[in-house]
Amino acid sequence: MAGTPGLCLDGLAVGYRRRRARHRVLDGLTATAPRGQLTVLLGPNGIGKSTLLRTLAGLQPALAGRALLDGSDLNRLSGAERARKVSTVLTDRVQVGLLTAADLVGLGRHPHTGPTGRLADTDRAVVGWALAAVGASQLATRDADELSDGERQRVMIARALAQEPSLILLDEPTAFLDAPSRVTVTALMRRLARERDLAVVVSTHDLELSLRVADQVWLLDRAGNLHTGSPREVIGSGAVNTTFDGDDLRFDPTTRTFELHGDAARWDEATR
């Protein structure tokens, strides 16, 4: 059922192990990313958003607490089990060699294939469905390294869908896209969350768009505290203003946009 708990953080601490010491980047995180909804992860640069996503993806261990997916502790899942339940789209640009777009999406089926890794007809059907779901069927036979940034991002999302996961994690999926493509990809993730009853967590710096489109917000403030709720709730708490307002830029809770203030506003007015 859409809106039911999918991903739950229970006192989660993330960071790095250095020799025998543990360096905690974020601590005591408690939050929920429901199925059927788009959850956006916001916060200043360097606060630990990518570290959190990498921990949830299993790329580095949690330091304390738990992350539960449909009641199962992600830290206790085997690599194969996690691969079937969690898919990721990271900012790292993957070298795809001579793969076509369909070949690239097919990599998402590997958690479900046998020891040979060969795709069965059922796997190819899933690949076709995933490409269609993101509006990229026409790209299937194109060389992946010839795709535009927007096309490539659609294909990477299709690869994540092809895993048939319960949770999709995306780190800055709109970072290299133009404005129309950013809107398209963000709206796509919200639609897929609803249609496929997925828990979708997106880390992004596209604040204005996210606060308009998201169902749930996880906002890390400058002290590493996590504020959660609907966009209306998080905005109403003042957390967006205290985290992002500066001398020259302020967030307007009514319009959900950032406005220039002070010297920056006077300079902007003078150049018009």
**Distances from the Cα of 142 to the Cαs of 23, 96, 131, 235, in angstroms?**
44, 12, 12, 43
The DSSP symbol for 100 reads B
Q: Contact, 163 vs 109, CB < 8 A?
A: yes
**Is residue 134 a contact partner of residue 161, using CB atoms and an 8 Å limit?**
yes
Residue 83 in any domain: the answer is yes
pLDDT at site 1 = 45
Q: What is the pLDDT of residue 267?
A: 54
CATH number at residue 168: 3.40.50.300
Task: State whether 243 and 152 are in the same domain.
Answer: no
Q: Does residue 17 form part of some domain?
A: no
Q: 248 and 153, same structural domain?
A: no
> Rounded mean pLDDT of 69-91?
91
Percentage of the residues of the chain whose pLDDT score is greater than 90: 72
Residue 50: inside a domain, yes or no? Answer: yes
pLDDT tens, 109-135? 999 887 777 899 999 999 999 999 999
Write down the pLDDT at residue 22: 83
* Res 263 pLDDT > 90: no
Looking at the structure, do residues 98 and 165 belong to the same domain, yes or no? yes
Count how many domains the chain has: 2
Is 25 part of a structural domain of the chain? Answer: no
- The C-alpha angle with vertex 216 and arms to 214 and 222, in degrees rounded to 5, equals 100
**Does a structural domain hold residue 22?**
no
* pTM score, whole prediction: 0.90
Residue 264 belongs to what domain range? 238-272
- Residue 72 counted as domain residue: no
Q: Which strand ranges, in their side-by-side order, compose the sheet holding 86-89?
A: 86-89, 167-171, 199-203, 37-42, 216-220, 226-229
Q: Is residue 61 part of a domain?
A: no
237 contacts 59 by C-beta, under 8 angstroms: no
Assess contact for 126 and 144: CB atoms under 8 A: no
CB-CB neighbours of 250 under 10 Å:
17
For residues 154 and 222, membership in a common domain is answered with yes
Is 243 found in the same domain as 225? no
Kindly state the tokens that stand for 230: 């609907």
- Is 103 a member of any domain? yes
Using alpha carbons only, give the angle 36, 225, 69 rounded to the nearest 5 degrees.
30
Give 157 or 20, the one with higher predicted confidence: 157
Q: Do 242 and 270 fall into the same domain?
A: yes
Residue 149 and residue 222 in one domain: yes
**Same domain for 141 and 177:** yes
212 & 186 share domain: yes
Query: Quick one: 254 and 149 in the same domain?
Result: no
Q: Are 189 and 252 part of one and the same domain?
A: no
Q: What is the mean pLDDT of residues 145-169?
A: 93
* DSSP H or E run through 234: helix 231-236
pLDDT over 80 (residue 3):
no
Domain shared by 89 and 126, yes or no: yes
